Structure 1
């Protein structure tokens, strides 16, 4: 007959189960956080997107420099085109690889975003980028600590990526970043590999 577990062994099991439950909950919350960001950006809901960032969170998109702090993230987002009739601004959040330290309240994630951007009577473009992000639990809720979008390609929808791509816009009219870009690169047809936050999964 198998021996019954001791009280110490039972407590150890409970602690391990609690840790696994917390890890699962944290995974769900970080997934929802990033997905919510994509949905808000889709519809130009810049304030709601900015609210997902930590107070000292950072944003860096397409080599335009780093914006530091939630207020500056909000300012940058409000310089993007408004969502209105005739506008498509889809940013789908795909293919996550997440590494979460529940005890420390920190996480890192790699994502792919597929973009459909267009304005009736104007441009219509496909794009794809890699996000290398960090997250932090702030006041009990997960928030984006840093969002870094590295554009892999951006092209006219009717020409396709096989004909090359649109050069990256390196600045935002009327707005200067707080820090220079993390690294210099150009998108397709130049080859770029976004730095990985992990060596193996």
Structure 2
């Protein structure tokens, strides 16, 4: 991994983790504008086998179809930065999606995020996020 003096692995990881956590929080709250704003203008959100949204407007509109109908929670863990430069980082994370029903919280899906992020004006944003669910 190459770095500059201002870019340590820890600082890149912190910025990437912030973007990943902000995405999960916005998704669970149904804040589609916030989700779209976490992507670069020409960003791509791919949900394997379901849909691909290209650009912020398409991401915003596409995620409206996933707005929560009840309490839900995306837990993201085991994030590993696989490569980075001063302006781009790649990461993989595991995810578990929970919904609360009549009998309590239950896991609905598990999967993985494969992310490419770019730093814009000091903030890490997704340029591509691929969500893959594990059967």
Q: 1:106 aligns with which of 88, 111, 123?
A: 88
TM-score where L is the length of structure 2: 0.84
How far residue 18 of structure 1 moved from its aligned partner, in angstroms, is: 6.2
How far residue 118 of structure 1 moved from its aligned partner, in angstroms, is: 4.8
Q: 2:24 aligns with which of 10, 27, 38?
A: 38
For the pair shown, which has the larger CA radius of gyration, 1 or 2?
1
TM-score where L is the length of structure 1: 0.58
> For 1:136 and 1:144, how far apart are their aligned partners in 2?
6
How far residue 100 of structure 1 moved from its aligned partner, in angstroms, is: 4.0
- Residue aligning to 1:133: 115
Q: CA 1:18/1:139 → structure 2, altered by over 3 Å: closer, same or farther? A: closer
How far does the alpha carbon of each residue in 1:11-50 deviate from its partner, in whole angstroms, 9 at most, with x for none? xxxxxx962x522322211111111111111221221122
Higher RCO, Cα 8 Å, sep 6+: 2
Report 1:11-26 matches (<5 A).
19=5, 21-23=6-8, 24-26=10-12
The 4+ residue runs of structure 1 with deviation greater than 4 A are none
Aligned residues: 130
> For 1:57 and 1:129, how far apart are their aligned partners in 2?
21
- Residue aligning to 1:157: none
Larger % of strand: which? 2
Contact 1:51/1:70 (<8 A) preserved? yes
> For 1:141 and 1:115, how far apart are their aligned partners in 2?
26
CA root-mean-square deviation: 2.2
Contact 2:96/2:107 (<8 A) preserved? no
Report 1:45-60 matches (<5 A).
45-60=31-46
Contact 2:98/2:107 (<8 A) preserved? yes
